Amino acid sequence: MRIHLKTLGCRLNEAEIEAWSRDFQALGHELTQELSRADLVVVNSCAVTGEAVRKSRKLIRRAQRNNPAAKLVVTGCYASLDPAGSSGIDLIVNNRDKDRLVEIVSKQLNLHAMPEMATEPGENSLLARGRQRAFIKVQDGCRYRCTFCVVTLARGEERSRPAAEVVDEINQLHADGLLEVVLTGVHIGGYGSEIGSSLFQLIQTILEETRIPRIRLGSVEPWDLPENFWSLFENDRLMPHLHLPLQSGADSVLRRMARRCSSADFRQLVEQARQRVPGFCVTTDIMVGFPGETEEEWQQTLAFVGQMQFSHLHIFSYSPRPGTKAAELPGQISKAQQKERSQALYALGQQLKQANQQANLGLELPVLIESKTETNEETAIWSGYTPNFLRVALRAPAGAALENQIRQVRLEALSEAGDHITASLL
C-alpha cells in the first residue's frame, strides 16, 4: 500500500512518525509524499494550544476531502483527548498505543504488504526525503502537572524505552548514513524514573555504545539536570545546545504555573552551562498572557529574557485548555494584549538572536550540511547547522557534492535578513 504520513506539533511527534515510516517500509509498504496517491493516510495530531487543535482538525478535513478513498488513521494528543470530535475516520489510535501503531493499523485495517517492495537494506527513508537528522523517542508521558499543560493529560504517565533499544535504533540509523540524532520525549529529563535509570546514564550509554558523530537533546526541563550533567559535554559528539523551557521570568507567574524552577535557579543553571561548555547555546520557551499576568510581571519577563541572552525564543500565547487548572484561573488576558506582548517579545528575541550570531563570527566550526538552497552555473548555497545550532549558509562550487557531510567552515557575516550566518569552506 502507498502510505502518506503527516504530523503536527512537537519533536516527539516527529520522532514517532519517523519510526512508523521505517516500520511500514519494513513490512513492504511504500511511502508517498503525495496525499492524493495514498491508500492510507496517518495523521499525528496535536493539542498543546487551541491553535494546534484547529490545525489538527483542518489537516484531518483536508485528508478526507482530497483523498476520500484512502483509509484514514488519526492519533496524537487531539485524537486522544477528543475522540468523539473526529468523525469520518477509519481508526483512532490512542497515545498509549502509539508505539504499536503500525501493528494495530495492519491488523485492524487488514493491510496487505507486498514483501517484494520492501526497503532495500541500507536505504534510509529520511535521507531519501532530504532529512539528515533523525528524532529518537526515548520516553513518553510526564509525572508533573504544570497548570497550563494538556499534554500530560493526553500522554499519561512516564514510560521509558530501554537504553539497549535506543542504542540499536541509533546504530541502525548511523549504518544507514545518518550523522545526527535528537533525543526526544514529553519529559526526557525524567527518563528512567520508573526503570531505575536516568537521562545522564542514557547519554553515557549512547556515547559509549554508538559512533554516530552528532547527538542532540530535545527540550529538557531545567529542574531535571544533576550537578554533574555538564561533564557529559566533554565528549564533543554531544552538541553544546539545550532547549530549556522557562515559560516566564516572573517568579509569581512561575508559581501559578506550578513550575519547579525559580528565575534564580534558572539563571544559575545557564551560567553553569556557559562556564563549563565553551560556546554553549541556550534556547527557551516563553508563554505570553498567562492568566493574571500583570504589567509588572510582564516587564519582569522581558527584563529576565534580556539578561539571559537567549539565542532563540519560542513564543506561545496562552490558550485555555479544557481539563487544566489554568483554564479555571481568574484574570484571563485578552487576545489583543497577548498579541501586543508577543510582538514586543519577538522584537527582543530577534535582537538577542543576532547578538548571539555576531558573537560567533570569525569562529571555525564543523557544520552538518543538509540541503542546497540556491544554485547557478558557478556556485551553490548549502544550508546546515553548527554544533551550537546556528543556521549557516555556505557558498561552494556548483559541482561540489556536500549533502550529509560534516565540513569545517569559517563563520563570516550575518545575512541581510539576520536569520542565518554566511560561511566559507576551509
CATH number attached to the domain at 129-360: 3.80.30.20
Neighbours of 390 (CB within 10 A): 24
- The answer to whether 310 and 285 have CB atoms below 8 angstroms apart is no
The pLDDT assigned to 205 comes to 98
Distances (CA, A) of 23 to 100, 109, 125, 128, 394: 10, 16, 11, 16, 35
- The answer to whether 311 and 353 have CB atoms below 8 angstroms apart is yes
The pLDDT assigned to 88 comes to 78
The residue with cell 542532540 is 216
Return the closest-CA partner of residue 36 out of 75, 78, 69, 1. Answer: 69
Predicted TM-score (pTM) of the model is: 0.87
Domain extents in the chain: 2-117, 129-360, 364-425
Quote the CA–CA distance of 241 and 308 in Å, as a whole number. 15
- What is the per-residue DSSP string for 275-328? HHSTT-EEEEEEEE--TT--HHHHHHHHHHHHHHT-SEEEEEE----TTSGGGG
Return the closest-CA partner of residue 180 out of 204, 128, 216, 138. Answer: 216
Return the closest-CA partner of residue 43 out of 91, 108, 11, 84. Answer: 91
E strand residue ranges, 141-254 = 159-160, 180-184, 214-217, 241-243
**β-bridge mates for residue 409, sequence order:** 365, 425
- The answer to whether 39 and 70 have CB atoms below 8 angstroms apart is yes
The pLDDT assigned to 112 comes to 66
**Residue 368, all three cell numbers:** 552538518
Backbone φ and ψ of 24, nearest 5°: -65, -45
- 2-117 and 129-360 agree in CATH topology: no
CATH 2.40.128 fits 364-425, yes or no: no
Backbone φ and ψ of 96, nearest 5°: -65, -20
The pLDDT assigned to 207 comes to 98
- What is the per-residue DSSP string for 377-419? SSEEEEEEE-TT--EEEEEEETT---TTEEEEEEEEEE-TTSS
6 dihedral zone (left: phi>0; alpha: psi -120 to 50; beta) = beta
- The answer to whether 390 and 363 have CB atoms below 8 angstroms apart is no
Quote the CA–CA distance of 83 and 78 in Å, as a whole number. 8
**Residue 392, all three cell numbers:** 549557516
- 286 Cβ contact list (under 8 Å, min separation 6): 246, 247, 248, 249, 301, 305, 313, 314, 315, 316, 345
The pLDDT assigned to 115 comes to 47
DSSP conformation class of 43 = E
**β-bridge mates for residue 137, sequence order:** 184
C-alpha distance across the termini of the chain, in Å: 46
The pLDDT assigned to 70 comes to 93
Distances (CA, A) of 327 to 145, 148, 206: 13, 7, 40
- 110 Cβ contact list (under 8 Å, min separation 6): none
Residues of the chain below pLDDT 50: 114-123
Rounded to the nearest 5 degrees, what angle is found at the Cα of 182, between the Cα atoms of 177 and 185?
135
Which of 3.40.50.920, 2.160.10.10, 3.40.50.12160, 3.40.1710.10 would CATH assign to domain 2-117? 3.40.50.12160
